[in-house]
Homo-oligomer: A and B are copies of this chain.
Amino acid sequence: MPVGISIKLNSGLYLRDPQATKLGKSIIKNSILLFEEIGFEAFTFKKLATKIKTGEASIYRYFENKHYLFLYLVSWYWEWVSFLIDYNTKNIIDPKRKLKIIINTFVFASKDNPSIDYVNESVLHKIIISEGTKAYHIKDIDEENQEGFFLNYKQMVAKVADVIAEINPQFEYPRALASNLFEMANDHIYFAKHLPRLTDVKVKGEDYTEVEKMLELFAKKLLAK
């Protein structure tokens, strides 16, 4: 399992690097748990402060507001998925096998992948599934994009698009397919759990194999020559 990996994120996302201090790590760890517990809208710095037994003001020293904290966590996830893709596809040459592994990574994300103790990847994955897209569906999207706040997502998509282009260089939409596979993985896990008539797949507990199968079929058909 991955040891000593380090996740580097755009420093514009925070006021003080949360990875550098005990309190910072506690903010990361507990914000993941709290977002999962009560959801993005109900989440407040006050509640988080109470949870970690500190003052509201201390949290404000790390993050400007909850949007930035949330974006930090989502960026972490994007970077984490990128890392897992590299890790899981290491030494594999066949791009078709690579894409299969990528799809598996999208769907299962953090399964049995302990990494950094203050980040619970499995809970983070749940947050991404239920509200990850709120990180970029915002009014200031262009300004924040300008700041490079979405580079982790773009890099991950570029990585997947490269594999797609290797499988079928004639395929016109490698990046769109890459982002769509990622979004679809999350959407259809969410749909299966909460709005089952919007999909055909079923999930039982944490078993997302039907989602995986569907994405594999989609990729296969779309990339057939």
On A, residues with C-beta under 8 Å from B are 38-39, 41-42, 67, 130-131, 133-134, 136-139, 141-142, 145, 150, 153-154, 157-158, 172-176, 179-180, 183-184, 187-188, 190-191, 194-195, 197-201, 214, 217-218, 221-222, 224
With A and B bound together, what is the CA distance between A184 and B133 in angstroms?
A: 13
Interface of A is mostly: helix
Residue of B nearest to A133 (CB): B133
With A and B bound together, what is the CA distance between A153 and B199 in angstroms?
A: 12
Number of chain copies forming the complex: 2
With A and B bound together, what is the CA distance between A108 and B42 in angstroms?
A: 35
Q: Are B194 and A145 in contact (CB under 8 A)?
A: yes
Q: Are A188 and B200 in contact (CB under 8 A)?
A: no
Which one of B145, B179, B194, B221 contacts A142 once the chains associate, using CB atoms below 8 Å?
B194
Q: A12 to chain B: closest CB distance in Å?
A: 17
Q: Are B142 and A214 in contact (CB under 8 A)?
A: no
Which one of B173, B180, B194, B198 contacts A157 once the chains associate, using CB atoms below 8 Å?
B198
